[in-house]
């Protein structure tokens, strides 16, 4: 067997990890929809969904199950193949952005094998995430165009312009972080923070810009222009039904989850536990991985809550305000942030 060049145990290990992460993405996405409705209800002094199971915890299952049993409608005027390709692309790109995120401290088996809790620790690291995000625009564009509906097309063009515009300041903020780490690898970005403190201490402005861009990239309020109901009905996915609509909606929530994970990894130490020295606890490797994973999830949950909180608090921008903010304020600000970071770091090094 010439194929034995591949380490089949590695493939099995990675397959399990990938399955776990994709399952986790779906689980979190489903329960973020419930959390969204609960938070909205709480902020508006209502009760929110509470009929399906205790406190409505089975509501997402009912919602998800419903998507399977709805009629698929593909309008006659639309382009059938592209109509199906659009949501599929949106979902696929959402599912593969999680590939380089370190989810927990590496697990060491009794035999001394190190199993990293990260699907791929590639040298390009965070830039791989950016490349997948930059391809994610096609999901919206193709879906909106294929529908052959004026509202959908308008929303798709708006959404695509918005997403590409906010990629720029995001990249510039990232560069300021990379000055400190000197590597694009996610594992080294986390290791650097474990050693020298979280990047949020050194890059508060960078983080703020990054967070605003993350809101815009996920099409979340106050930047949910692609689905502005009062001008565009339901936005780029208004002709969709059944699971294809579900793909678009789920992709949005998975993107929220993954962008929270990326922000935590870049600025909030990833799975690092602050202020303590875990090595002195003397716990086994299994518990270490579990605890660090819980810490990461706690940080991610905070950001997810922030996303929801903002949605139900801040009204939507106008389109010209959105573009002005992105191009005329965030790009110069991020550029200045990058140059100042570089200069300060070089001065301190002397």
Partner 1 sequence: MIYFLQTNINTTDASSYLPVALQVAFAVGLVIFLTVVTHLLGPKRKTSDKLQNFASGIESHGDARQPMAIKYFLTAILFVLFDVEVIFFYPYAVNFKGLGWDGFWAVLMFVGFFLCGFTYILKKGALKWED
Partner 2 sequence: MNITQILFWFLSVVALFSALMVITNKNPVYSVLWLIVTFFAISGHYILLNAQFLAIVNIIVYAGAIMVLFLFVIMLMNLNKETEPQKNRWLRMAGAVAGGCLLLVLVAALKDTDIKQQQAMVNGGSIGLIKNLGKELFTTYVVPFEISSILFLSAMVGAVVIGKKE
Q: Which does 247 bind (CB under 5 to 8 A by kind): partner 1, partner 2, none?
A: partner 1
Residue written as tokens 């094998």? Answer: 113
Q: Measuring CA to CA, how many Å separate 82 from each of 5, 146, 148, 230, 259?
A: 38, 6, 11, 27, 27
Q: Which does 131 bind (CB under 5 to 8 A by kind): partner 1, partner 2, none?
A: partner 2
Instruction: Report which of 331, 327, 326, 323 is spatially closest to residue 158, judged by C-alpha positions.
Output: 323
* Window 214 to 273, contacts with partner 2 (CB under 8 A): none
- List the one residue from 83, 103, 145, 210 that touches partner 2 (CB under 8 A): 145
Nearer to partner 2, 153 or 191 (CB): 153
HEC-encoded secondary structure of 99-115:
HHCCCEEEEECCCCCEE
Nearer to partner 2, 72 or 123 (CB): 123
According to the binding rule CB under 8 A, does residue 134 interact with partner 2? yes
According to the binding rule CB under 8 A, does residue 122 interact with partner 2? yes
Token representation of residue 121: 């620790």
Nearer to partner 2, 159 or 269 (CB): 159
Three-state SS at 57: coil
According to the binding rule CB under 8 A, does residue 82 interact with partner 2? yes
- Which residues are bridge partners to 114 per DSSP? 108
* Window 170 to 189, contacts with partner 2 (CB under 8 A): 183-184
Nearer to partner 1, 118 or 221 (CB): 118
According to the binding rule CB under 8 A, does residue 151 interact with partner 2? no
Nearer to partner 2, 185 or 316 (CB): 185
- List the one residue from 31, 103, 130, 271 that touches partner 2 (CB under 8 A): 130
Q: Which burial class, exposed, middle or buried, applies to 348 when counting CB atoms under 10 A from its CB (0-12, 13-18, 19+)?
A: exposed
Crossing angle of the two packed helices 150-181 and 204-217, in degrees rounded to 10: 150
HSE-up (13 A, CA, CB side) for residue 38: 15
Point out which residues bind partner 2 (CB under 8 A): 2-3, 5-6, 79, 82, 122-124, 127-128, 130-131, 134-135, 137-138, 141-142, 145, 153, 157, 160, 164, 183-184
């Amino acid at each position: 067997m010439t194929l034995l060049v591949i380490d089949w145990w590695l493939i099995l290990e990675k397959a399990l990890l990938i399955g776990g992460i994709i399952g986790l993405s779906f689980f979190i996405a489903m329960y973020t929809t419930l959390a969204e409705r609960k938070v909205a209800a709480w902020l508006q002094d209502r009760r929110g969904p509470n009929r399906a199971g205790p406190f409505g915890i089975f509501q997402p299952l009912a919602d998800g199950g419903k998507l399977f049993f709805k009629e698929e409608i593909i309008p006659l005027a639309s382009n059938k193949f592209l109509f199906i390709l659009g949501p599929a692309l949106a979902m696929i790109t959402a599912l593969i952005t999680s590939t380089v995120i370190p989810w927990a401290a590496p697990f060491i088996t009794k035999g001394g094998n190190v199993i990293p809790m990260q699907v791929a620790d590639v040298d390009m690291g965070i830039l791989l995430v950016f490349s997948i995000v930059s391809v994610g625009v096609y999901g919206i564009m193709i879906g909106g165009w294929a529908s052959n509906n004026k509202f959908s097309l308008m929303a798709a063009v708006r959404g695509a312009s918005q997403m590409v515009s906010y990629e720029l300041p995001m990249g510039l903020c990232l560069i300021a972080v990379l000055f400190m780490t000197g590597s694009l690898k996610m594992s080294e970005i986390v290791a650097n923070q474990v050693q020298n403190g979280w990047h949020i201490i050194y890059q508060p402005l960078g983080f703020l810009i990054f967070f605003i861009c993350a809101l815009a990239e996920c099409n979340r309020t106050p930047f949910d222009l692609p689905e502005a109901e009062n001008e565009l009905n339901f936005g780029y996915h208004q002709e969709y039904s059944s699971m294809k609509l579900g793909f678009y909606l789920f992709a949005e929530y998975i993107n929220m989850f993954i962008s929270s994970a990326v922000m935590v990894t870049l600025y909030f130490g990833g799975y690092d536990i602050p202020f303590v020295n875990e090595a002195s606890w003397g716990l086994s490797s299994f518990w270490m991985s579990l605890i660090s994973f819980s810490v990461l999830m706690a940080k991610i949950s905070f950001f997810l809550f922030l996303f929801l909180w903002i949605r139900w608090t801040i009204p939507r921008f106008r389109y010209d305000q959105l573009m002005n903010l992105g191009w005329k304020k965030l790009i110069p600000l991020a550029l200045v942030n990058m140059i100042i970071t570089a200069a300060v770091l070089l001065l301190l090094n002397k």
